Structure 1
Amino acid sequence: MSKLRMGIIGAGGIAQERHIPAYVGMADDVELTAVQDVNAERARLVAETFDIPLAFEEYEPLFKEVDAVTICTPNKFHSEIAIAALEAGVHVLCEKPMAITTQECEAMITAAEKNDRLLSIAYHFRHMPEAKLAKETILQGEIGDPLVTRVQAMRRRKVPGWGVFTNKDLQGGGSLIDFGCHLLDLALWLLDDPVPVEVIGKTYDRLSKTPGQVNDWGAFDHETFNVDDHVTSYITFENGLSMQFECSWAANIKEDYTALSISGVDGGMDVYPFQLYQTKHGAVWNSQPAIPKESLSEGFVQAKNFVDSCRGEAELVVKPEQALKVTKLIEAIYKSSEIGSSVKISN
């Protein structure tokens, strides 16, 4: 089978640090054919650095040269570019989140279905060893029916001081839509895509609007900061399941940490680090497996799944309908905070 011709749209940090190196490591199956960026000089330099034959300033000409694209632009442009690519007959892997609004996500799915092309979203936490073990543990019935899920994606002082991460017009939000979305997606995937019913959420930005803040990830302008740096939420689902969710870029906590725990009828688990809690044989049990260290990064595994799916050799791990659900919840959390009351979810 011939190599999949891959194009990169948006030549910033995530493209250079995650996606392009992953495809370089798949040289037997992928040909990095073209890169595009609105900054023509950056596109040219990235093409030169990674030995990519073609560099473009506009994305439309790129579609004629490739079989698939990886979209690494600000969130505002995800839907527009993905739909254009799909309409051109090109498969799409889009960076997270899928898009800023539910309506944009739905339009992307419609375009993929109409043109019989693959569409996937880069929620790479699903490919981590702990996540895969947690998924298998749940599938094997080790915790029974899930009841309560607790999710925390917490950073103490890591507001991204580069790019456009603090620009609401281009990104749609801050810590939730950038960082919290990963853990929200992972939790929904582990829970087998439960149907959300109601959301109450609260967003904060006071720390990052306060002058003189220490920030580990570079300088940003506190006067123009207009996105969330801390978010809390409580989500209920159709089957009685509930989720406590929190994320931050900036919070007065001891240290950064990521936590995802699920309590079920027959057992419970923490994902980071993975531990299983059960009651059996007249005693309570705490089990912590020795997880084999994987030689491949989750970025490479994600890229391989997409490439293999495009070649008809695998099934997408992250399906667009699942990513749509993440965006729907993000949208509801933001709306709940804005109106000061809970939001019912229509499905």
Structure 2
Amino acid sequence: MPEPVRICVLGAGVIGLHAARRLQADLPAAQVTIVAAGQGESTTSIGAAGIFRPGVFRAPTPRLTDEIMDESWRYYKALLASEQAAAAGLCEVSGYLLTRRGPEAIHNPHLERLCPDYRAANGRELAICPGGWKNGFFCTTLVTDDTYHLGWLTQCFKEAGGTIVEREVENLRDIKGFDIIVNCTGIGARKLTGDSRLVPLRGQVFKVKAPWIKMFFMTDDDTYVVPGVDRVTLGGTRQFGVYSTAVDEHDSASIWDRCTRLIPSLKRAEVIQEWVGLRPHRDPVRMEKERLDTGVMVVHCYGHGGYGVMTAPGSAGQVSRMVTEILRGDFSNPLVSSL
């Protein structure tokens, strides 16, 4: 019998875990191993609000962007309807996108296409939150709470025969004993690949206990209140090119002020945690094959910015497609140009 294909997935964040699980499903004879410096609480994914709200995410082509969005939505909706929903941290949440400007400032064509109840907010709805909101939209979308989801994915991966090795990788050529490497290292890919187009997008949030908050609220000044399974995320910041992972007291004051002005009852919320993460931003997201000078093939999948949780299932589908193409002898990148 031929030897099974040995695949190494670098990174145990939400992109890496979804990629590993998809490869297990699509290539059941393959041996899939995750190699990562950290898991769970040490990943950037753990602090995400996890709401399905497409923004500036851009795949290599517009068609691929839509495909990834649509596949991710279908995956999460199916998971939400399954008996695994609670363990996987999936919940459905309704809420409002608000702006003091024209409706185009907050209109979301992806949500309009995917959410059956997407509509303009009326005057009475715009007055729910203080702030003089002029326009807005209402919809029911999904939240994937990574405080549950990452653990669930990890358990599923191990139960399917996967192995996780805790190790820091400084050079792709140091990975030995595998036929294909899948690079899902997030912001770490900048050092690993020398990709100068990958930059940190610093995000800072509060995690609070506020069980009376049942709806999400998001505004066009990066203020958001997003309920998860048992915590509410208050944010946030989008600081381009900033590498600091320390909690900044000025950002804390700004976030708290903006969120409590939006929903005054949050002033009595119990603060559980303040968290900072470096979102890996690249325009477009890198999804391509590369042959190392050692002959080993690498599939890159990184640069999702603040949309990694939302697009992970669809991105995993693209990883599986590229790996399958490599196994068939197709090493081309028809949709992207090399660095």
| TM-score scaled by length of structure 1 | 0.31
| TM-score scaled by length of structure 2 | 0.32
By relative contact order (CA 8 Å, sep 6+), the higher-ranking structure is: 2
